[in-house]
Structure 1
Amino acid sequence: MKKEWEKDRGLFIRMFLTMFFLAALYLAFIAVLSVLGVSIIPLVFMAGVMLFAQYYFSDRLVLMSTGAQIVSEEEAPELHEIVSRLCINADIPKPKIAIVQSSIPNAFATGRNSKRAVVAVTAALMKQLNKGELEAVLAHELSHIKNKDVLVLTIAGFFSTIAFFLVRYLIFFGGRDRNSGGIMIAWIVSVIVWLLSFLLIRALSRYREFAADRGSAILTGQPSNLILALLKISGRMEQVPKDDLRKAEGMNAFYIIPALSGESILGLLSTHPPIEKRIEALEKIEQRL
């Protein structure tokens, strides 16, 4: 299983290069700020506290924002049976399982590590999919846990958060010292770093989705089930009321398929690859299997 899990070198290289460019960007950012004499220690501390709290309490915050309810084995025996079996295959501890009462068919995983993880599905998803398709979706979410995606994306976003704070902080500071050319240069550099890191982190997020799709295919041995699940979920999205989609958009980074109202900029800068690309990748895996 381990050999198969690490086999996709192309995907690994793309993720590695994205992280490399992020690291290079952040190092250049620090160097420029140092030359300009801008002290970022308070902002590093602020960003560190904020991201640590987000990482440490991510499972609770996500459950609260979605209204997800943890269910016991007696309340949802089928879900527990599927997750228990997949966790054995994935060699990870069994996470908590939650159900969200929502009209949007979707699923997500959260938690700072495999011992604190939660996998959640919506009631609409359970009605929409058959057992094989539901298993494929749950395997996708468990792959996020095994791949430590919450940790990876939190680390990747650290200096991006600092750059965002500097964009806001330097406008205020510069307003009181307009003759300082260094402040203006630092502000421009911060804007550029934030924009570039935003795009790179979105690219990294999309690669992590490909990796989770691949993990699902390996865990279940049936990539076609995930293909059918993705098609059903995306097709159902068009029938969900726009207001329900707008309310769920803040959670799109966690969902297996983003809940887009059609009017959001998230449709242009999505955290997920296009469905067509994901299906194409799964079909290639199916041919190899």
Structure 2
Amino acid sequence: MAHTRFAPDRGLTSRMVLTMFLLGLLYVVFVGALIALGVQTVVVLLVAAGTLLAQYFMSDRIALFAMHGRVVSPQEAPELHGVVDRLCAMADMPKPRVAIADSDVPNAFATGRNQKNAVVCATTGLMRRLDRAELEGVLAHEMSHVAHRDVAVMTVASFLGIVAGLMTRVALYSGLGGRRDNQNGAPIGLIVMLVSILVYAVSFVLTRALSRYRELAADRAGALLTQRPSALASALVKVSGEMSRIPTRDLREAEPFNAFFFAPALAGRSALTSLLATHPPLERRLEQLRGISAQLGQGV
């Protein structure tokens, strides 16, 4: 992690290393299997690498464009800039660009491959609903993602899923499905597709597990930086409650960007949904904040 006053998180670091190791191992096995099947993987790997690089270097622009956000000056949004200035001074980190997304969905996100290329964005719906302390807690959470280089890590972690997804499409649309390795053998395309689907599923579960933990780590780091876990807990409860008042159509439109958000636009409650979720359950996040409050001699 780059130098800041955000609390280091050894648990997050160890999980990142373990996830990268498992994904790397899965990648080696996957490519080895494709080569053994006689599949030419060079083009797929080049396309996947190009997609990864574009996502890595342009994540801030892509996220702002997708969420209809725009960078604002201190004159346009003095309160938002004031909160970010205060957090940057507390965290001893460079100030990111500050943006606002015109959306009634109460949320925020931060993105960028490093501290020098970061942007933190709040929606108009979030700014209308939270007081200053709550807004500070949310933005501290988001800026800790930048300090922990979460965007860069998750982008790299998604590479194997991109490759597997592309290989599935190649098998489906290139006519490999009917090609056989010999007269009596199984279709090569079918094997490639099944292997690709399995690899995609495993990599998806691993990256989602890492995503959930990084949200808990961001809650922890943000709460410790501001020394006000109660404000972050209040913001979580308020944002989650207000989501139910947002039209379902708007939430559906925002759902694809859940991985970026402070809180998911739509969150299921089944065991399978929780396994595939980008964020931990609200109860788990509040439980952690209560524990931090107890450590600080406060109450949530």
- Show the counterpart of 2:52: 51
1:60-112: CA deviations, max 9, x gaps? 22212211121111111121121112112223210111111211111111222
- Number of residues of Structure 1 aligned to a counterpart in Structure 2: 288
Choose from 236, 239, 242 the match for 1:236: 242
Alpha-carbon distance in structure 1 between the residues aligned to 2:21 and 2:70? 39
Amino acid in structure 2 at the alignment position of 1:270: A
1:271 counterpart letter in structure 2 = T
User: What is the CA-CA distance between 1:57 and the residue it aligns to?
Assistant: 1.8
8 Å CA contact 1:245–1:261 kept in 2: the answer is: no
1:281 counterpart = 2:300: no
Q: Offset of 1:271 from its aligned partner?
A: 0.7
Structure 1 residue matching 2:121: 3-state secondary structure: strand
Q: 1:21 maps to what in 2?
A: 22
Contact kept? 1:110, 1:150, Cα under 8 Å: yes
CA positional deviation for 1:150: 1.1
Contact 1:90 1:146 in 2 (8 A): no
Does residue 177 of structure 1 match 2:179? yes
* Alpha-carbon distance between aligned partners in 2 of 1:174 and 1:252, rounded to the nearest angstrom: 35
**Structure 1 equivalent of residue 218 of structure 2:** 212
1:114 deviates by 1.4
Is the aligned partner of 1:124 residue 2:125? yes
What code does the residue aligned with 2:95 have?
A: K
Q: In the TM superposition, what is the alpha-carbon distance from 1:173 to its structure 2 partner? A: 3.8
TM-score with structure 1 setting the length: 0.91
Q: Which runs of 5+ in 2 are unaligned?
A: none
| Structure 2 match to 1:272 | 279
CA separation of 1:56/1:3 partners in 2, compared to 1, >3 Å: closer, same or farther? closer
Checking the alignment, whether the CA contact within 8 Å between 1:242 and 1:261 is kept in structure 2 is: no
CA distance in 2, matches of 1:261, 1:281: 19
> In angstroms, what is the RMSD of aligned CA positions?
2.3
Q: Which residue of 2 aligns with 1:224?
A: 230
Which amino acid letter does the alignment assign opposite residue 20 of structure 2? M
Q: Distance in 1 between matches of 2:262 and 2:153?
A: 17
Which residue type is aligned with residue 256 of structure 1? F
Partner of 2:258: 252
Q: Against the structure 1 CA distance between its residues 243 and 184, is the aligned structure 2 distance closer, same or farther, given a 3 Å change threshold?
A: closer
Within 2, Cα distance between the matches of 1:226 and 1:236?
15
